A = this chain, B = another copy of it.
Amino acid sequence: MNSQGAGRQPKYQRIADELKAAITAGEYGPGDRLPGENDLMATYVVARMTARQALSVLRSEGLVEARKGAGVFVRDFRPIRRHGTQRLAAGRWGEGRSVWSADTEDRELTVDSVSVTEESAPEGVARVLNLAEGSATCVRRRKYLLDGRPVLLATSYLDADIVAGTAITQPDTGPGGIYARLDEIGHKPVRFREEIRSRMPSAEETTLLALTPGTPVTLICRTAFAEDGHAVEVNDMVLDSSAYILEYDFDA
């Protein structure tokens, strides 16, 4: 990218662009400390407010993060590559592996917390699962960590009548997870739909995922369908967007 029309840009934007270029060129690597306000004021002969604005541009783009009292650091972006289309191939969970363990390739996602409750179906979920409003669903809420850092909140909804008495209603669903259990009771998932959005996090999501300011969340709503076309699970996922690259591979 050329810096076109640089003369018409505000000063803070030009400084931000130079810092960005230096990050892209690797002069500042992940975890490195950027020049602070005082450094920028001296280097570019600008007011403190200008230096502050320049740094705030980088923060709002999620390139850097401020650590209290320590300065501004290049974000350590080592995202998880999540293979949407390959990950759920029957072979994987059929072999007793959990769907999620394939998410990280050689990196380990660990479950930080699981809660299993019975709740009446939220309206949208009831519609997709073809349940009457207010029907009982088995709700599994999980938080996943990568390298000790929370990266994913997942909430699965299943028809309580269908999964009653299975390990799906237990914190530990056993080898192969939910999908292997669904297979055993004749509701094998064979097709998936993933819907993706992104937005700024709620206060609760910011806390649960320990998000730094300027980090959006990516939402994946996954629906699993059985052979006859009925939906067997809706999984609402909230991802730390700085931790994930989602990948989908498909044929023309």
CB distance from A22 to the nearest CB of B (A): 15
CB–CB B251/A191 < 8 A: yes
List of B residues within 8 angstroms of A191 by Cβ: 249-252
0 or 1 for each of A209-252: is its CB under 8 Å from B? (1 = yes): 00000111010000000000000000000000110111111111
CB distance from A193 to the nearest CB of B (A): 5
A167 within 8 A of B: no
List of B residues within 8 angstroms of A196 by Cβ: 196, 218, 245-248
Chain B residue nearest in CB terms to A179? B252
A202 within 8 A of B: yes
Instruction: Known contacts A57-B203, A199-B62, A200-B62; decide if A193 and B249 are in contact (CB<8 Å).
Output: yes
Q: Which of A33-41, A84-92, A168-176 contacts B (4 or more CB under 8 A)?
A: A84-92
Q: Which residues of A contact B (CB under 8 A)?
A: 13, 16, 57, 60-62, 79, 84-85, 88-90, 188-203, 214-216, 218, 241-242, 244-252
